[in-house]
Structure 1
Amino acid sequence: MEHAVVRNSSSDPLRIDEVAVPGARGVIGLTFCPGKRQREAISGAWERDLDTDLAAIASWGARAIINLVEEHEMLELGVADTAERLPAGIDYFHLPIPDAGIPDAQWEAAWSAHGAVVRARLAAGHKILVHCKGGLGRTGLLAARLLIEFGMPPAQAVSAVRAARAATIETDAQLEYVLCQRAPGSVQECVDEPGRTMPLRPRIAEPAAMKPLFRESWNTAELRRAHPPVFSHPHKQLLYDLAYPPGEVERGEIWVSRWPCATPVKACCGSALLVSAEPGYFSYRPSPGVAPGHEWHLNFADGELFFAYGSPLFAQDEMQVAEHPLLASVRQKLVCLARQHERYDPRTRDRAGMPTPVLVQGVARRIAVATDANTGQGRPQGLYGNHFARATPDVIVRASSRIEASALSNLLAIVAPAGGSGVYREETIDDALRTAYSGFRATVQACVLPGNEPPRIRLHGGNWGCGAYGGNPELMYLVQMIAADWAGLEGIVFHAPIAEPFVLACAKFASLQERCCGHDDALRFLAAQRYAWGVSDGN
């Protein structure tokens, strides 16, 4: 009895076929599912090793992987944990399409956000790898679509992809789909002629420069010594002691600033704001291609800056202070300075209720606290929110790890509207827009150097105002996208977004982009959606 030869990553090293992108330096790689294990397939039996294949992808130089395989296929192929095993420096986009099928409306809505990110990476010269299960139908479909989005005629795109990888674009439906594609206006504006890439953000109106209420640099060692934190819960003291073991000292300086409310002005039309999503809370990993100091993370602030850092609470605000413990001393110093002048008031709104974003630049992240559910580590419900105070000290210690080479973070604190009910009023939506815009624009202004081009800011946001404040996720995602676009940011990354509201927000943002809406039009559009308030999560 003959036994079928089982092929593996050693006998058949992963083959990546390349397609050059017209008018750009980037390359699209085409392959089948890395690490797949199949007893029966047209190409034979496979027992591949996922780590070996991912290492081959990293060696090829991929900066991102686009996985078109559906969830049930990943389970069948034994690669459900691909995202967790990626080598450092490779981003991951999971955009499943049914086997032998074509994208549906939900996929198109997701691509309206992720596609802009992919195109910008290719325009910048990155290598992007695309794969499905067999590396032919869905893989060829998306590769051809990307070529079309960079200005290549559809029939030529099909030929280019099939020349690189024979038999790609397998079904008649897939071929018809590709031949019906047209280059979006944003990419046609970006690629002017072969070999010449145009700016992604053609500016037509630069908002007036903002002037901070105050902006000062503080010596970190002196700040910690003169303004020690005050804790009301032992778990917070425990985390602080883990972050600062005996003999540990602060070095360097941080910049702290507070900014006034700014009137929203749309910075550009036809812009290519990079909108993307990542699972989980902030990792604070540097993003490829973003200059040091130009990456920012949102603080989902209370009206009182960092006010609950010492309490039993452990939501996003308190987590951020625990991992960046010097922020507690920032609050304590501002409380002291506010007695001398109100511009130092540790609030994210002024006495008239207008937003006053607070920026902290260059603060060290000293520990990382795992908040996910992990029964083996004694946290079956995780540590987020009220679960933190219920945990025992040993569980807190096991969940925490020191960051020896402390990375520096830039943080933006803005407070979302809170406590509403029923349908959002137009003035509440306007307040959210002005708050987000003021903060996002302040990050740009804080990084501007005289005589230089505007900085390319990447901001990490997420479920801002959607937890304890009960905000509507779709609306709050849209507000952040619109404000980021108006403020002139290069990109915004949403962490742990709720899938359906995020997809809907991306689709509506794309619609607003096509119409090049200004403040009044956008506000009317948002109010017309009749978004309803949610319910506080109690954290």
Structure 2
Amino acid sequence: MSNDGCDIQPMERLSLDAAELMRAYPPRIRHRNKLAVFEIALPHGAEPGGRIEYSRWAPVPLPETVPVRRALDITVAKPGFYDYQPHLSPPGMEWHVNFADPDLFVAYGSGLFAQDEMMCAEHPVLGSVREAVLERFASALTEEDGQPTPVLVAGAERRCRIDTSPDLAAGRPEGLYGRRFAAADLETVRRATVPIVPPTITNVLAIAAPSYGHGRYTPEEIQQILLTAFTGFLVARLESERLAGETVPVAVHTGFWGCGAFGGNRLLMTILQILAAAMAGLDALVYFTADAAGGNDFRTAVQLLRERVALEDAVPLAEVMKAVEGLGLRWGTSDGN
């Protein structure tokens, strides 16, 4: 299998009218606060528009060299969290990383509200995607038998925006992120949820990071993270070309993937995503750094890359892996969300 895309095909594919998809596979929302958000996003009688393109992909072997210099050139840091604003001019295509569980969108209807579940709440058709995939393929996975199987969902409407920031006057003194969402009262959730009219369109890349490790990262863990990010970024580029009918610029929006509930190390996950973006041939990696501490972590990761890895256009993969392993980075702890 080559990495130029000529013979890389998805394991699964569905192309569905969004309204028909939601009618046939309505989301199964179990928590009252999620239901309140859904009713604002899709008030009575409303239906999502457009077409959903779902695909699931097998891992693609890593290339033998890494364009380290280009990796740094194409990476752009942005403070805050996903704003869903385009980075490229048309006809460029943009994808947003969903910090997925190995079981695709598994908690969309529950009271959980980390990055994965928040994306599903703002893009309610993603719940229907999960239900359809479960019926058609018997499982909905972003990882299988210990190997990454990234999922792409193109064409999902973002129908509302949920403000999770702390706001005492709005009844959320500690915000709504994570477990605070389920504990909030209905009116607080409704006040925080603003419909987007007309809705915008998001292309979603769902990849699962490793979770709940401890101690120093092993070479195998580092390679698995790089393989997951590389495969996800590569197939996003290939799918962009298929959907556009031509070669187009491609950007992926991401952040501290796997560094919340899963306990990943921010420096390592940043370094590996930056490298994977260039290996996959992306035109831009837009990296959301959350807050001031996140901005510092991002800059530290970039500085480590500059100091420890040759800033060349074709550094042998083995050399890059040895340098990253030599950093001795260790697992963090779960944030409990």
Instruction: Return the match for 2:112 from 313, 338, 342.
Output: 313
Q: What corresponds to 1:379 in structure 2?
A: 172
Instruction: Return the match for 2:319 from 506, 509, 521.
Output: 521
Instruction: Return the match for 2:89 from 284, 289, 293.
Output: 289
The 2-side partners of 1:449 and 1:237 are apart by 35
Residue by residue over 1:467-507, the C-alpha shift from the partner in whole angstroms, topping out at 9 and shown as x without a partner, is 00110000000010000010001111111251332112112
Query: Given that residues 68 and 278 in structure 2 are in contact (C-alpha distance below 8 angstroms), is that contact kept between their aligned partners in structure 1?
Result: no
Query: Which aligned pairs between 1:140-159 and structure 2 lie closer than 5 A?
Result: none
Residue by residue over 1:66-86, the C-alpha shift from the partner in whole angstroms, topping out at 9 and shown as x without a partner, is xxxxxxxxxxxxxxxxxxxxx
Q: What corresponds to 1:425 in structure 2?
A: 218
Question: Does 2:15 align with 1:217?
Answer: yes
Inter-CA distance 269–454: structure 2 relative to 1 (3 Å threshold):
farther
Instruction: Return the match for 1:330 from 113, 121, 129.
Output: 129
The 2-side partners of 1:218 and 1:300 are apart by 24
Q: What corresponds to 2:153 in structure 1?
A: 360
Instruction: Return the match for 1:493 from 260, 274, 286.
Output: 286
Inter-CA distance 270–208: structure 2 relative to 1 (3 Å threshold):
farther
Which runs of no fewer than 5 residues in structure 2 stay unpaired?
Answer: none
The 1-side partners of 2:153 and 2:13 are apart by 10
The 2-side partners of 1:416 and 1:295 are apart by 21
The 2-side partners of 1:455 and 1:303 are apart by 30
What SS does the aligned partner of 1:514 have?
Answer: coil
Q: What corresponds to 2:299 in structure 1?
A: 503
Residue by residue over 1:67-118, the C-alpha shift from the partner in whole angstroms, topping out at 9 and shown as x without a partner, is xxxxxxxxxxxxxxxxxxxxxxxxxxxxxxxxxxxxxxxxxxxxxxxxxxxx
TM-score, structure 1 normalization: 0.58
The 1-side partners of 2:149 and 2:328 are apart by 27
Please, what is the CA RMSD of the aligned residues? 2.0
Instruction: Return the match for 2:227 from 434, 451, 466.
Output: 434
The 1-side partners of 2:225 and 2:38 are apart by 33
Inter-CA distance 409–310: structure 2 relative to 1 (3 Å threshold):
same
Larger Rg: 1 or 2? 1
The 2-side partners of 1:290 and 1:538 are apart by 39
The 1-side partners of 2:33 and 2:243 are apart by 45
Q: What corresponds to 2:195 in structure 1?
A: 402
The 2-side partners of 1:462 and 1:451 are apart by 26
The 1-side partners of 2:246 and 2:320 are apart by 28
Query: Given that residues 88 and 94 in structure 2 are in contact (C-alpha distance below 8 angstroms), is that contact kept between their aligned partners in structure 1?
Result: no
Q: What corresponds to 2:49 in structure 1?
A: 251
Higher relative contact order (CA closer than 8 Å, sequence separation 6+): 2
Residue by residue over 1:370-391, the C-alpha shift from the partner in whole angstroms, topping out at 9 and shown as x without a partner, is 0101111111100000110111
Q: CA offset at residue 526 of structure 1? A: 1.0
The 2-side partners of 1:246 and 1:239 are apart by 13
Query: Given that residues 66 and 315 in structure 2 are in contact (C-alpha distance below 8 angstroms), is that contact kept between their aligned partners in structure 1?
Result: no
Q: What corresponds to 2:70 in structure 1?
A: 271
The 2-side partners of 1:244 and 1:447 are apart by 28
Query: Which aligned pairs between 1:61-100 and structure 2 lie closer than 5 A?
Result: none
Question: Does 2:258 align with 1:465?
Answer: yes
Q: What corresponds to 1:229 in structure 2?
A: 27
Inter-CA distance 453–508: structure 2 relative to 1 (3 Å threshold):
farther
The 2-side partners of 1:428 and 1:216 are apart by 31
Inter-CA distance 451–236: structure 2 relative to 1 (3 Å threshold):
closer
Inter-CA distance 268–421: structure 2 relative to 1 (3 Å threshold):
closer
Q: CA offset at residue 209 of structure 1? A: 4.4
Q: CA offset at residue 274 of structure 1? A: 1.8
What SS does the aligned partner of 1:271 have?
Answer: helix
Query: Given that residues 284 and 409 in structure 1 are in contact (C-alpha distance below 8 angstroms), is that contact kept between their aligned partners in structure 2?
Result: yes
- Mean Cα displacement is larger for which, 265-274 or 309-318? 265-274
Residue by residue over 1:326-376, the C-alpha shift from the partner in whole angstroms, topping out at 9 and shown as x without a partner, is 00000011111123xxxxx310012x2110000000110000000101111
The 2-side partners of 1:415 and 1:250 are apart by 27
Query: Given that residues 5 and 238 in structure 2 are in contact (C-alpha distance below 8 angstroms), is that contact kept between their aligned partners in structure 1?
Result: no
Which runs of no fewer than 5 residues in structure 1 stay unpaired?
Answer: 1-204, 340-344
What SS does the aligned partner of 1:375 have?
Answer: coil
Query: Which aligned pairs between 1:35-114 and structure 2 lie closer than 5 A?
Result: none
Q: Which runs of 4+ in 1 moved over 6 A?
A: 450-453
The 1-side partners of 2:133 and 2:245 are apart by 32
Q: How many residues align?
A: 328
Q: What corresponds to 2:141 in structure 1?
A: 347
What SS does the aligned partner of 1:245 have?
Answer: coil
Query: 1:535 is matched by which residue type in structure 2?
Result: T
The 1-side partners of 2:326 and 2:168 are apart by 45
Query: 1:318 is matched by which residue type in structure 2?
Result: E
Query: Which aligned pairs between 1:173-184 and structure 2 lie closer than 5 A?
Result: none
Query: Given that residues 207 and 267 in structure 1 are in contact (C-alpha distance below 8 angstroms), is that contact kept between their aligned partners in structure 2?
Result: no
TM-score, structure 2 normalization: 0.92
Query: Given that residues 482 and 509 in structure 1 are in contact (C-alpha distance below 8 angstroms), is that contact kept between their aligned partners in structure 2?
Result: no
The 2-side partners of 1:371 and 1:334 are apart by 30
